[in-house]
Amino acid sequence: MAPPEGPRAPLEFGGPLGAAALLLLLPATMFHLLLAARSGPARLLGPPASLPGLEALWSPRALLLWLAWLGLQAALYLLPARKVAEGQELKDKSRLRYPINGFQALVLTALLVGLGVSAGLPLGALPEMLLPLAFVATLTAFIFSLFLYMKAQVAPVSALAPGGISGNPIYDFFLGRELNPRICFFDFKYFCELRPGLIGWVLINLALLVKEAELRGSPSLAMWLVNGFQLLYVGDALWHEEAILTTMDITHDGFGFMLAFGDIAWVPFTYSLQAQFLLRHPQPLGLPMASAICLINAIGYYIFRGANSQKNTFRKNPSDPRVAGLETISTATGRKLLVSGWWGMVRHPNYLGDLIMALAWSLPCGVSHLLPYFYLLYFTALLVHREARDERQCLQKYGLAWQEYCRRVPYRIVPYIY
Ligand SMILES: NC(=O)C1=CN([C@@H]2O[C@H](COP(=O)(O)OP(=O)(O)OC[C@H]3O[C@@H](n4cnc5c(N)ncnc54)[C@H](OP(=O)(O)O)[C@@H]3O)[C@@H](O)[C@H]2O)C=CC1
Ligand SMILES: CC(C)=CCC[C@@H](C)[C@H]1CC=C2C3=C(CC[C@@]21C)[C@@]1(C)CC[C@H](O)C(C)(C)[C@@H]1CC3
C-alpha cells in the first residue's frame, strides 16, 4: 500500500547509501570477528589470518540444526503463557496482545539441552560449527527481511513504522516498513527480539564452556564469569519480558533487515565473542581480580535493573508506592517525566548500567587483546546513537517539558562527563 503523504521522519544511518553499506558491513564485521576470535593473533583491526572457502561456510547439517532451533523456539512461543500482556496503543487506537512465556522458553530449552546432553548430544561440537551456523543465520535474515518487505507492501498504512516509509527500497528494506508484522498471534519482531538470538547466545556460551572443559580438563574461571554474567543478562531480559513492549524497537522501529539480522545473527554470534576468544586464548584470572570484576558487574546490573524497573513501574502506575514519592515534570501529553531517583541522575541511567556490565564482560579476557573489548566499543556507539534518536523523539513528543527535563538533568549517560 502507498505510504501516507505529509512530513516524513528524517533519514537515519546516512540514508539509502548508509543503509546499503550497512547491509554488507554488518555481516562482514560478524564474520571478521568469528574468524579473528579463532585465529592466533586475534586482531580486532587488520585483515583476518585467512578467508574461509565456501565449503567452510556452507553445511547442510548447520542448516538443519538452525531450522530445528528456530522451529523449537517458535513452538515454545506458542505454548500456553502465564500471562498475555497488552502493548502500547497503536495509531488506530488498538493494542496488540503478546504472550509472556520467554522465561519459560529459556527453562524448557535448558531442560531439553540437558536431556540431549545426557543422551549423548555432543554440545562441545557446536563451537566448530559457528561459522556455517552464522552463515545460514545471515542467509535466513536476508530471506526473512525480503519476506517482511513484501508483506509490508500489502499492509494497511496505519501498520507502517514512521521511519520505514521513505519510498527508497534499500533504505526501507534495511530499516523495516511494518511496525509489528504478525501472522495471527505470532508476532515476528517480538519473537525474534527475545527468543532465538538471546537464548542461542546463552547456548553458544555454554557449548564453548563445555568445549573448554573437554580441551583443558575444566572450564577456566574467566569462562565461568563470562557465562554467568551473560546468563544473568539474558535471564533478566526474559524474566522482565513485558518491559520490552515499551522499548523503541517495538513501539517505533519497523521490522526490517537491521533488527532481523541483529536479533537472529548478530546477537548470538557476536555477543558470544568473549567466550569464543577465551576458548582459544585462555587467560589467567586470580580470585581478587575475579571478585573485583563481579563487583563491577553487580554495580552495573544494580543500576540497569533499578533504572529500567523504576521507569516501567512509573509508566504502568505512577501512584505505585515505590515511585509515588519521586519528583516529576508534567507534559502537555498528560504523561509525566521523572526528575528524581535514577532518572534524575542522568537522562539514560539504564544505558550507564548496561555499559558498566559490558566492561565487566570483557575484563575476564585480560588486557592483552582489543578483540574481546569489541562489544564494549560497539555498544558505546550503539547507545550514544540510540540516545540521540530517543532525545529527538522525546523532544518532538514532549516539547518544552523535555527541554525543562534536559535543563534539570543535564547529563545524558555518564554523570559530569556525557
Ligand atoms: N544489549 C543490547 O544490545 C541493547 C540493550 N539495550 C537496553 O535496552 C534497555 C531499553 O532501552 P531503550 O529502549 O533504548 O530506551 P529506554 O528504556 O531508556 O526508554 C526511553 C524512553 O523512556 C521514556 N523516558 C525517558 N526519560 C524518562 C523520564 N525521565 N521519566 C519517565 N520516562 C522517561 C521515554 O518514553 P515514554 O515517555 O514514551 O515512556 C523514552 O522514549 C536499556 O537498558 C538499554 O541499555 C538497548 C539496545 C541494545
Ligand atoms: C548493529 C546491529 C545489527 C544493530 C541491531 C541492534 C540490535 C542487535 C539491538 C537493538 C536493540 C536490542 C535490544 C536487545 C538486544 C540487542 C538489540 C536487538 C535486548 C533484547 C538485550 C537484553 C536487554 O535486557 C533488553 C531486553 C533490554 C534489550 C532490548 C533491546
The identity of residue 97, as a single letter, is: R
Identify the segments of the chain with pLDDT beneath 50. Answer: 1-7
Pocket test of ligand 2: the residue of 33, 189, 193, 257 to mutate, having most ligand atoms within 8 Å of its CB, is 193
In a domain, 192, yes or no: yes
Report the number of distinct structural domains present in the chain: 1
Asked, for residue 343, whether it belongs to a domain, the answer is no
Residue 416 lies in a domain: no
On whether residue 132 sits in a domain, the answer given is: yes
Cα separation of 281 and 159, whole Å? 48
Ligand 1 surroundings by CB, under 6 angstroms = 246-248, 304, 308, 311, 314-315, 335, 337-338, 343, 348, 350-351, 354, 382, 386, 390, 393-394
Judge whether 271 lies within some domain: yes
Output the CA 232–ligand 1 centroid distance in Å: 20
Which residue's CA is the closest to the ligand 2 atom numbered 14? 193
What is the model's pLDDT at position 6? Answer: 45
Q: Which atom of ligand 2 is nearest to the CA of 194?
A: 20
Inside any domain, residue 380: no
Q: Does residue 292 sit within a domain?
A: no
Residue nearest to atom 23 of ligand 2 (CA): 237
d(CA 174, CA 294): 38
Distance 133 CA to ligand 1 centre (A): 31
The answer to whether residue 306 is domain-embedded is no
pLDDT in tens, 277-322: 999 999 999 999 999 999 999 999 999 999 999 998 998 889 999 9
Query: 178-185 long-range contacts, Cβ below 8 Å, gap at least 24?
Result: 178/148, 178/151, 178/152, 178/254, 178/255, 179/90, 179/252, 179/253, 179/254, 179/255, 180/87, 180/90, 180/96, 180/250, 180/255, 181/148, 181/151, 181/152, 181/155, 181/255, 182/96, 185/78, 185/97, 185/99
pLDDT, position 9: 62
Give the ligand whose atoms come closest to the C-alpha of residue 312. 1
| Residue range(s) defining the domain that contains residue 194 | 32-37+57-88+95-282
Whole-number pLDDT of residue 49: 66
CB 300 within 8 A of CB 357: yes
